[in-house]
Amino acid sequence: MSCTVSMTVNGKTVSREVEERTLLVAFLREHLGLTGTHVGCDTSQCGACVVHVDGRSVKSCTTLAIQADGATVTTIEGLAAADGTLHPMQAAFREHHGLQCGFCTPGMVMSAVDLVRENPNPTEADIREGLEGNICRCTGYHNIVKAVKAGADAMQGAQAAPVAAE
Amino acid sequence: MANPNGIGASVRRREDQRFLTGRGNYTDDFKRPNMTHAVHVRSPYAHARVLGIDPADALAMPGVVAVLTGADMEADKVGSLPCGWQIHSKDGSPMKEPPHYPLARDRVRYVGDAVAVVIAETREQARDAAEMVVVDYEELPAVGSSTRAIDGAATLVHDDAPGNVCYDWHLGDKAAVDAAFAQAAHVARIDLVNQRLVPNAMEPRAALGEYDASSGEYTLTTTSQNPHVIRLLMGAFVLGIPEHKLRVVAPDVGGGFGSKIFHYGEEAVVTWAARKIGRPVKWTADRSESFLTDAHGRDHVSHAEMAMDADGNFLALRVSTLANMGAYLSTFAPSIPTYLYATLLAGQYKTPAIYAEVKAVFTNTSPVDAYRGAGRPEACYLIERLVDVAAGVMGMDKTEIRRRNFVPADAMPYQTPVALQYDTGDFAKNLDIALPLVDYPGFQQRRAESKARGKLRGIGFATYIEACGIAPSNVAGALGARAGLYECAEVRFHPTGSVTVFTGSHSHGQGHETTFAQIVAERFGVPIENVEIVHGDTNKIPFGMGTYGSRSLAVGGSALVKAMDKVERKAKKIAAHMLEAAETDIEVKDGRFTVAGTDKSLGIGDIALQAYVPHNFPLDELEPGLDEQAFYDPKNFTYPNGCHVCELEIDPDTGVTTIVNFAAVDDFGNVINPLIVEGQVHGGLVQGIGQALYENCVYDEESGQLVTGSYMDYCMPRADDVPSFTVRYHEDQPCTHNPLGVKGCGEAGTIGAAAAVMNAVVDALSDYGITHMDMPATPEKVWRTIRDATPALAAE
């Protein structure tokens, strides 16, 4: 059985006819060609597939595309500014060498952004607990934790800057 | 440092931009016109005869293009997956090397062994149809572990491997070791298991096969650490495709850790099938398939003994190891428990006599091959656990017994009794740097404070030395390697002075696009932005042995230097011609070519332009162009070494272990990019900690079923399981035999960490009289061990 699914992905409205069983991650990767979102496991454990649905981090491998019908979805491709300027969290991952092979990175960054949204000043323990649903095999997490802390500070700074200018 | 982005600078990685914005190109990201999807039909039994395969129901399913089996491959004369290393047993006989077909023919030998492939328009359709392939199996008794394999009554995994033995090998001087034991004042003994692990690169394996009927050319895009080796093995031995008609591309690869070195059957299946059906065929493993079919690591059962004199000096080491090869020989499997394990059993110690026996056996489990460290973590774990036991036997401090037995720095180069010659290393210095990082003198007080809180605190040391960049080729060949182990690089200056480097090394997280560019920027004074590093494509790169065994910088980087030497020699000739000077008068510094004693000089960019637009080169002496290629064959292994210290606390009520401090001091020779090197160490440490505390690949001994087949059952270390680290390195002992003075850094963390953690766990439990515990020290195991060691608790 097929169905029509419509949503806003990275600011663009999209609509596709898909099988009902189509997962959100397959919708993004196969139907929209947004291959930045990865599939690293089949038990909803690794977090490589994390995207934002209506601003909240979601494992897109465990979400049906139809569940996101009408939603606003942001993937890693949509995180940087339109002019290509990296999101502060992306920039922090680069600065602190928070990635190696890059495969877990999109999910890790998307989780980190949502983590900071919920907790703007996370401690190291908060960050480690908050990223418990994202597995990285390369970095040993050490530099990811540093990057998320720096990214959180930068996100705070980015929000504070206009206020300071007033 | 002449160049801000040169050697020694923590240059931020150039590859990160694409990875951070979702623009990486991993194998599963590729789509081709008219592409089909493959799903393998895999054996649910560990051991069975295949009596028949009926594809009719599957073929009737929507979207199904083909169902292909081992019989189809046999009809097309597809060969067996070759093994790249041959070991000879003690009696001189060659190892047993049974065939390993990409699709099994009449018998399956492990759960996950592929018997057929279903190809359909979509992945979902292929998956649905794979469920409908009817395979008639006659189940056979299974051999689920190495210890069962050598039980006299065990079923034979391969009929032509009696006793399930692949080889029974040894190294060292048995008579000298026996004589030393006869004289020993003290002997330390240990029995231990180095458990099986699943490498678990985060990107599952994938392969995309294409065939162009008009040109007869095949292309395989695959998750590989060494595409040229795959081309050679698959082209020459499996599918019979000559190199000029076979392109193998390893694009962005999401981690390897060894598991993507090997030539896997799926690569041959999609390449062969692409021609058979006349369309591109893509296969991507799901994680369950990765657990079942990626080559696993470790899986040793060992007994070891150390003979000592009255003062705790090591006299001799005797080791006996049973190594599990799994159901078939993976590409490098036989070399791991032999030349990458037994040769490292001297460790950092001057033990004068060593004898090791290694029996490798077949079982009905996934093949076992190199996993990060590959033999060396097994050696380090065995030695360092045994040294801690020896300290207990002698009543000596654990640092003191190590110090007493270290090979002294002034004994370098040092010939070990097990074949290797260490070129450099100052082991006492590593320890001297490490001890203040963990405040060793304050440990007993911290231990007492923990005890007052009802907690058990332990500290553990591990010193390691490893052999990286398997070399030299003539020695590797004498030891059974069926190929030399050199590396290739090409440095191409373009007319306007930018540079493309083609390297046979492959980056799948290591950051070569940055570090290799730093080496070029440093040498020629060019902006790093003007240097492009190309890797992972057999149509672009002359040849390559790929990336494994921490060889990329030491071997691939050295090839790069050799190619740059050639470029510089050529550029010097061109400069001499342009400046109308004698070549011998040209001085070169940071990419400027100056006539000695004058202000006449040219930059490399000026020379590059002239190289491509010459009008008056003396053609007998000087060819146009500035593009040089080099092959570098190392003279020796490199020997990274270090000292890792772990301090941890155990809650005896729950068995939960918490690492409170972990310091790693390493000697990697010269360091090109400290940021990247430290990142390699962090990642390695967590894989070692993962083995010590969390990870365990379990097969049911009776049925051969994989019990830990997902992340729900196989415990991967997560962010909240591990600490931040104190990492130090020193550059006082550069490698003496490669031009960069570099050693390997990719595997060090994994090699030292497991031993350091387990020595700390046992130290924490020492008040209970516990002297050993096998990995992983899970909360349940720790809790049970404490309980069993405490008569009052055990009686409850």
In whole angstroms, give the CA distance from residue B503 to residue B559.
Answer: 8
Question: B503 with B617, same domain?
Answer: yes
Examine residue B413 and state whether it is found in any structural domain, yes or no.
yes
B227, B546 contact by CB (below 8 A) = yes
Examine residue B348 and state whether it is found in any structural domain, yes or no.
no
Residues 6 or more apart from B579 whose CB is under 8 A from it? B586, B593, B595, B600, B601, B602
Q: What is the percent of chain B where pLDDT is above 70?
A: 99
Name the residue facing A144 among B15, B253, B719 (closest C-beta): B719
CATH number of the domain that residue A112 is part of: 1.10.150.120
In whole angstroms, give the CA distance from residue B173 to residue B574.
Answer: 57
Question: B493 with B411, same domain?
Answer: no
Give the DSSP letter string of B107-149.
EE-STT-EEEEEEESSHHHHHHHHTT-EEEEEE-----SHHHH
Question: A57 with A110, same domain?
Answer: no
Q: What is the pLDDT of residue B796?
A: 58
Name the residue facing A101 among B200, B255, B719 (closest C-beta): B255
The residue assigned the tokens 């952004």 is: A113
Question: A31 with A61, same domain?
Answer: yes
Q: Does position B704 have pLDDT exceeding 70, yes or no?
A: yes
Q: Token digits for B464?
A: 């390691």
B335, B475 contact by CB (below 8 A) = no
Show which of residues 147-166 on chain A sit within 8 Å of chain B, judged by CB atoms: none
CATH number of the domain that residue A41 is part of: 3.10.20.30
Question: A10 with A63, same domain?
Answer: yes
In whole angstroms, give the CA distance from residue A152 to residue A144.
Answer: 12
- B682 to A99: CB separation less than 8 angstroms, yes or no: no
* Angle, vertex CA A104, rays to CA B112 and CA B691, nearest 5: 60
pLDDT in tens, A81-119: 999 999 999 999 999 999 999 999 999 999 999 999 999
Residues 6 or more apart from B730 whose CB is under 8 A from it? B429, B430, B433, B665, B667
Q: What is the domain extent for residue A10?
A: 2-77
Residue A107: C-alpha distances to residues A112, B19, B31, B206, B704 (Å):
8, 11, 22, 20, 35
Q: What is the pLDDT of residue A166?
A: 36
Chain A, nearest residue to B723 by Cα: A142
* Residue B320: Cβ-neighbour burial (10 angstroms; 0-12, 13-18, 19+): middle
CATH number of the domain that residue B97 is part of: 3.90.1170.50
Q: Does position B633 have pLDDT exceeding 60, yes or no?
A: yes
End of a domain among A28, A43, A77?
A: A77
Examine residue A165 and state whether it is found in any structural domain, yes or no.
no
Residues 6 or more apart from A115 whose CB is under 8 A from it? A57, A122, A126, A127, A130, A131, A148
Chain A neighbors of B710, CB-CB under 8 A: 41-43, 45
Chain A, nearest residue to B284 by Cα: A39
Examine residue B437 and state whether it is found in any structural domain, yes or no.
yes
The SS3 call for residue B763 is helix
- B21 to A45: CB separation less than 8 angstroms, yes or no: no
* Residue B441: Cβ-neighbour burial (10 angstroms; 0-12, 13-18, 19+): exposed
Q: Running DSSP on this structure, what letter comes out for residue B96?
A: P
Question: B589 with B461, same domain?
Answer: no
Mean of the per-residue pLDDT values for chain B? Answer: 96
In whole angstroms, give the CA distance from residue B314 to residue B407.
Answer: 11
Q: What is the pLDDT of residue A9?
A: 98
B117, B39 contact by CB (below 8 A) = yes
Q: Does position B84 have pLDDT exceeding 80, yes or no?
A: yes
Residue A141: C-alpha distances to residues A105, A124, B24 (Å):
11, 11, 21
Rg (CA), chain B: 28
Question: A65 with A39, same domain?
Answer: yes
Examine residue B73 and state whether it is found in any structural domain, yes or no.
yes
Q: What is the pLDDT of residue B2?
A: 66
B486, B555 contact by CB (below 8 A) = yes
Chain A neighbors of B200, CB-CB under 8 A: 137
Number of C-beta neighbours around residue B609 at 10 A: 18
B352, B315 contact by CB (below 8 A) = yes
Question: A72 with A110, same domain?
Answer: no
Q: Identify the residue among B10, B11, B16 best suited for mutation to test binding to A, counting A beta carbons within 10 A and taking the highest.
A: B16
Q: Running DSSP on this structure, what letter comes out for residue B197?
A: B
Higher pLDDT, residue B483 or B178: B178
Q: Torsion-angle region of residue B575: left (phi > 0), alpha (psi -120 to 50) or beta?
A: alpha
- A103 to B716: CB separation less than 8 angstroms, yes or no: no
* Angle, vertex CA B44, rays to CA B206 and CA B360, nearest 5: 80
Question: B698 with B607, same domain?
Answer: no
Q: What is the pLDDT of residue B485?
A: 84
B663, B645 contact by CB (below 8 A) = yes
End of a domain among B597, B612, B632?
A: B632
Residue B114: which of B125, B101, B97 has the closest Cα? Answer: B101
B729, B677 contact by CB (below 8 A) = yes
Q: What is the domain extent for residue B536?
A: 486-632
The residue assigned the tokens 């159901």 is: B327
What is the rounded average pLDDT of the residues B35-59? 98
What is the rounded average pLDDT of the residues B396-425? 97
Q: Is the ipTM of this complex over 0.95?
A: yes
In whole angstroms, give the CA distance from residue B680 to residue B668.
Answer: 12
Q: What is the pLDDT of residue B475?
A: 76
- A43 to B287: CB separation less than 8 angstroms, yes or no: yes
In whole angstroms, give the CA distance from residue B350 to residue B362.
Answer: 34
What is the rounded average pLDDT of the residues B235-247? 97
A144 touches chain B (CB under 8 A): yes
Residues 6 or more apart from A127 whose CB is under 8 A from it? A112, A115, A145, A148, A149, B719
Residue B522: which of B671, B728, B745 has the closest Cα? Answer: B671
Name the residue facing B509 among A46, A106, A138 (closest C-beta): A138
Question: Could you give the number of structural domains in chain B?
Answer: 3
Number of C-beta neighbours around residue B575 at 10 A: 28
Question: B114 with B224, same domain?
Answer: yes
pLDDT in tens, B512-527: 999 999 999 999 999 9
Question: B504 with B574, same domain?
Answer: yes
Nearest chain B CA: its distance from A135 CA (Å): 6
Question: A149 with A117, same domain?
Answer: yes
Residue A97: C-alpha distances to residues A146, A156, B574 (Å):
9, 21, 41
Examine residue B695 and state whether it is found in any structural domain, yes or no.
yes
Chain B neighbors of A76, CB-CB under 8 A: 20-22
Name the residue facing B20 among A90, A101, A137 (closest C-beta): A90
Examine residue A115 and state whether it is found in any structural domain, yes or no.
yes
Q: Helix/strand/coil (H, E, C) string of A93-108?
A: HHHCCCCCCCCCHHHH
- B124 to A45: CB separation less than 8 angstroms, yes or no: no
Question: B601 with B710, same domain?
Answer: no
Question: A71 with A92, same domain?
Answer: no
- A132 to B710: CB separation less than 8 angstroms, yes or no: no
Nearest chain B CA: its distance from A6 CA (Å): 21
CATH number of the domain that residue B602 is part of: 3.30.365.10
Q: Identify the residue among B202, B253, B282, B659 best suited for mutation to test binding to A, counting A beta carbons within 10 A and taking the highest.
A: B202
End of a domain among A30, A57, A77?
A: A77
Q: Does position B55 have pLDDT exceeding 80, yes or no?
A: yes
B653, B782 contact by CB (below 8 A) = no
Confidence of residue B477 (pLDDT cuts 50, 70, 90): confident
Largest CA distance in chain A: 56
A97 touches chain B (CB under 8 A): yes
Chain B neighbors of A134, CB-CB under 8 A: 718-719
Q: Identify the residue among A29, A50, A87, A141 best suited for mutation to test binding to B, counting B beta carbons within 10 A and taking the highest.
A: A141
Give bridge partners of residue B304 from the DSSP assignment. Answer: B190, B319
Q: To which H or E segment does residue B627 belong? A: strand B627-632
pLDDT in tens, B649-662: 999 999 999 999 99
In whole angstroms, give the CA distance from residue A4 to residue A12.
Answer: 16
End of a domain among B284, B312, B328?
A: B284
Question: A110 with A148, same domain?
Answer: yes
Q: What is the pLDDT of residue B479?
A: 79
- B683 to A140: CB separation less than 8 angstroms, yes or no: yes
- B287 to A35: CB separation less than 8 angstroms, yes or no: no
Q: What is the pLDDT of residue B795?
A: 60
pLDDT in tens, B248-293: 999 999 999 999 999 999 999 999 999 999 999 999 999 999 999 9
Chain A neighbors of B288, CB-CB under 8 A: 42
Question: Could you give the number of structural domains in chain A?
Answer: 2
* Residue B122: Cβ-neighbour burial (10 angstroms; 0-12, 13-18, 19+): middle
Residue B625: which of B497, B496, B493, B525 has the closest Cα? Answer: B493
B671, B6 contact by CB (below 8 A) = no
Nearest chain B CA: its distance from A138 CA (Å): 5
Examine residue A67 and state whether it is found in any structural domain, yes or no.
yes
Q: Token digits for B375?
A: 């033999």
A10 touches chain B (CB under 8 A): no
A38, A107 contact by CB (below 8 A) = yes
Q: Does position A164 have pLDDT exceeding 50, yes or no?
A: no
Q: Does position B486 have pLDDT exceeding 50, yes or no?
A: yes
What count of CB pairs under 8 Å joins A to B?
Answer: 176
Examine residue A125 and state whether it is found in any structural domain, yes or no.
yes
- B202 to A136: CB separation less than 8 angstroms, yes or no: yes
A135 touches chain B (CB under 8 A): yes
pLDDT in tens, B726-737: 999 999 999 999
A113 touches chain B (CB under 8 A): no
Q: What is the percent of chain B where pLDDT is above 90?
A: 95
- A137 to B204: CB separation less than 8 angstroms, yes or no: no
Mean of the per-residue pLDDT values for chain A? Answer: 95
Question: B662 with B772, same domain?
Answer: yes
Question: B265 with B134, same domain?
Answer: yes
Chain B neighbors of A139, CB-CB under 8 A: 679, 682-683, 686
End of a domain among A77, A104, A124?
A: A77
Examine residue B745 and state whether it is found in any structural domain, yes or no.
yes
A138 touches chain B (CB under 8 A): yes
Examine residue A30 and state whether it is found in any structural domain, yes or no.
yes
Nearest chain B CA: its distance from A165 CA (Å): 30
The SS3 call for residue B198 is coil
Show which of residues 35-94 on chain A sit within 8 Å of chain B, judged by CB atoms: 35-43, 45-46, 48, 75-77, 79-80, 86, 90, 93-94
B708, B778 contact by CB (below 8 A) = no
Q: What is the pLDDT of residue A165?
A: 38
- B508 to A141: CB separation less than 8 angstroms, yes or no: no
Angle between helices B558-579 and B604-612 in degrees, nearest 10: 80
Examine residue A82 and state whether it is found in any structural domain, yes or no.
no
Question: B738 with B668, same domain?
Answer: yes
Nearest chain B CA: its distance from A70 CA (Å): 23
Question: B508 with B404, same domain?
Answer: no
The SS3 call for residue B2 is coil
Examine residue B658 and state whether it is found in any structural domain, yes or no.
yes
Examine residue A83 and state whether it is found in any structural domain, yes or no.
no
Examine residue A114 and state whether it is found in any structural domain, yes or no.
yes
Chain A neighbors of B680, CB-CB under 8 A: 100
| Residue type, position B780, single letter | E
End of a domain among B591, B606, B632?
A: B632
Name the residue facing A103 among B17, B202, B686 (closest C-beta): B202
Q: What is the pLDDT of residue B120?
A: 98
What is the rounded average pLDDT of the residues A27-34? 98
Name the residue facing B676 among A75, A97, A136 (closest C-beta): A97
Question: B452 with B512, same domain?
Answer: no
Examine residue B512 and state whether it is found in any structural domain, yes or no.
yes
